[in-house]
Structure 1
């Protein structure tokens, strides 16, 4: 087993095109192309593909390769390299989020379906059918794919900002702790020197008073220090609240049947044009329609009189006013209005009604002097 592993490793160190070995050239760099994953040295890639796309030089491979697709191999096993690339490509297309589904079960079914697609592509099972489904889904759901991709980038950016903020807060806390320790040490040393100086200059009866005064000063400084710490914590909390942001997922319903269980999209109603009259039309009449001409022996001479019409007189205004006055009472029900008036009178208190009657009688009794 060890001998086979060594032999395979030695074969990997040899370019299949020019047969150059890394043993003779330690600076040799091998590149791969995700189209076929055949490894070849960098000099062969420059020599064969610098002039444009060309077929893979490995015997039996018919894939058309381009120079910009070549890259350095990340994993030692080429199968792992291929699976990682396939998984990254499929997850870039099928990037639905959990909040886009009706239930947790539907989202779990989607994850299982995505893993089956990846497994089929890795194992080369129904590759053409699977690629066709992915291409159809990507074409019909391009807006949703781009929206979710943008949302993932924003979440990643927010995560890095939060990590940076936490690191900065930790650094500030360490620096504050060091500064506080150094400040307390200097204050304690200064208080001790001041206490000894005052004791040396005073009498023995002043020792207790000096000690009490020093204790009060120490408590006052401790209270000021705690207030400063509270202010720093409030400032950091405000900074965290400013950087915290909520993101909404832009969900688009898939047109293909590849993904099931998506939440239905409710299309908002289009905004209606602005109506300053709130639906009221000045020329609308519920009980009649205005015509341009009504036969009348009285009005026909006026219609033909140039002296009257020259002043701006319009017979349509006369027609409209006359019809409005004729039909104005159709929507008024006098019986209902009388019932409402009587009900309002009954609801008036007796004292108020008596006062109203007295006021009426008093005004009636007053006659002209």
Structure 2
């Protein structure tokens, strides 16, 4: 007996029978069943090829009138079709509502967003206000397409970086295991070679040479072990340094290519679906480069330098070729003269003298107080 739950049939043992052609997996063990995310009705692969090869067609299951396409059919992942449907809905909703924690003004706002997303998923799974929920999702996706794509790129970059980090750690663990195994093999070979050498020398030596040969053999083995270990450790250290350098370069590349929250400025439209987002301000346009840092050359506060000043003496010099032959320029004379004329206008002598007198008076009082205290201590008057 079939059981209807959320419009999807659950037949128990009859799930192994195609509802269209009634073929059974018991008679055909190679039969593959496919499902479509539109209605999640299961049917065999031959029926899918036969019905949907020529184009979209309605679902052949009785009571289902949804239009299906062949390219949407896929193999079922989970045994329970309800779990399969919920996973698909969750993946689709989280792909649209993929805001990150740093985009919210507070942790509470981010937690409210997570709760709201779970409510939307629950509504779609259990069939509560499906039309309104789908309309809100579609309007939000259309208005915030740029931020959705940017966050998807960030998640993809983080995922690839995590996988690369895992591969690097696995490679380092493999190198450590290889080092331990190589040390064990080298030690075993050294011990065997040392044993054979000691036996050969004992067989060729005299009766009193046994202790000397044994001590020399132990010293030789220790030296060989330390030398082999140092060389192997140095080789492994170089490999690990190369892996770490590659990791740093990849991280820098990912950080330079991944978009940031600042890239989303001025691109999203508030649809009212998500609350508590930060007010992202558009970055100010970069100002043109100023090599003087705001200082305008030849600008003075009290005068404007002219190119010509009437003077009978200067007019004679201006027309004298001998004076100007060495590169003499009257504008330099004008600039120096005007600067000297107006040099004292920014200085207020009275204020400077008042500040100087006040500072000297305070210093003299401090010196007098210190002198009086020293005199009192020396004469025994003070405490």
* Partner in structure 2 of residue 224 of structure 1: 227
CA separation of 1:157 and 1:202: change in aligned 2, threshold 3 A: same
Report the Cα distance in structure 1 between the residues aligned to 2:260 and 2:331, rounded to whole angstroms.
59
| 8 A Cα contact 2:175 2:236, kept in partner | no
**How far did residue 331 of structure 1 move?**
5.3
1:253-306 CA-to-partner distances (Å, cap 9, x unmatched) read 753333333344354332211234443456866556799999x9x99xx9xxxx
Matches within 5 A, 1:26-37: 26-37=29-40
The structure with the largest alpha-carbon Rg is 1
**Structure 1 residues 283 and 161: CA distance shift in structure 2, 3 A:** closer
Could you tell me which residue of structure 1 aligns to residue 273 of structure 2?
258
Deviation at 1:37, TM superposition (A): 1.8
Q: What corresponds to 1:268 in structure 2?
A: 283
Partner Cα distance (1:220, 1:236) in 2: 25
Stretches of structure 2 that go unaligned for 5 or more consecutive residues are 3-9, 316-328, 361-383
Q: Does 1:238 align with 2:241?
A: yes
- 2:378 aligned residue: none
- Does the 8 Å CA contact 1:290/1:320 hold for their aligned counterparts? no
Q: 2:369 — aligned with what?
A: none
Q: Secondary structure at the match of 1:187?
A: helix
Question: Given that residues 86 and 125 in structure 2 are in contact (C-alpha distance below 8 angstroms), is that contact kept between their aligned partners in structure 1?
Answer: yes
Mark the runs of 5 or more structure 1 residues left unpaired by the alignment. 303-316, 348-369
- Structure 2 equivalent of residue 200 of structure 1: 203
Partners of 2:93 and 2:20 lie apart in 1 by 32
Q: CA–CA distance in 2 between the matches of 1:320 and 1:239?
A: 62
SS state of the match for residue 332, structure 1? helix
Q: Classify the secondary structure of the residue corresponding to 1:180.
A: helix
Q: Partner residue of 1:127?
A: 130
Q: Taking structure 1 as reference, are residues 292 and 112 closer, same or farther at Cα in structure 2, changes over 3 Å only? A: same
What's the secondary structure of 1:189's corresponding residue?
helix
* Structure 1 residues 2-17: aligned runs within 5 Å: 8-9=11-12, 11-17=14-20
**Structure-2 separation of matches of 1:210 and 1:186:** 19
**How many angstroms apart in 2 are the aligned matches of 1:279 and 1:174?**
62
> 1:34 aligns to what SS in structure 2?
coil
Deviates more, 1:237-246 or 1:317-326: 317-326
The answer for the alignment partner of 1:211 in structure 2 is: 214
Q: How many residues align?
A: 323
Alignment of 1:278-317 (within 5 A): 278-281=293-296, 286-287=301-302
Equivalent-residue separation in structure 2 for 1:60 and 1:324 (angstroms): 100
Quote how far apart the aligned CAs of 1:65 are.
Answer: 2.0
Deviation, structure 1 residue 319 = 11
Q: CA RMSD in A?
A: 4.2
Matched, 1:332 2:344: yes
Summarize the Cα distance change of 1:21–1:196 in structure 2 as closer, same or farther, 3 Å threshold.
closer
After TM superposition, the score normalised by the length of structure 1 is 0.70
Q: Distance in 2 between matches of 1:201 and 1:78?
A: 82
Q: Distance in 2 between matches of 1:219 and 1:22?
A: 69
Residues 33 and 45, structure 2, Cα contact 8 Å, conserved in 1: yes
Change (3 A) 1:228 1:22: same
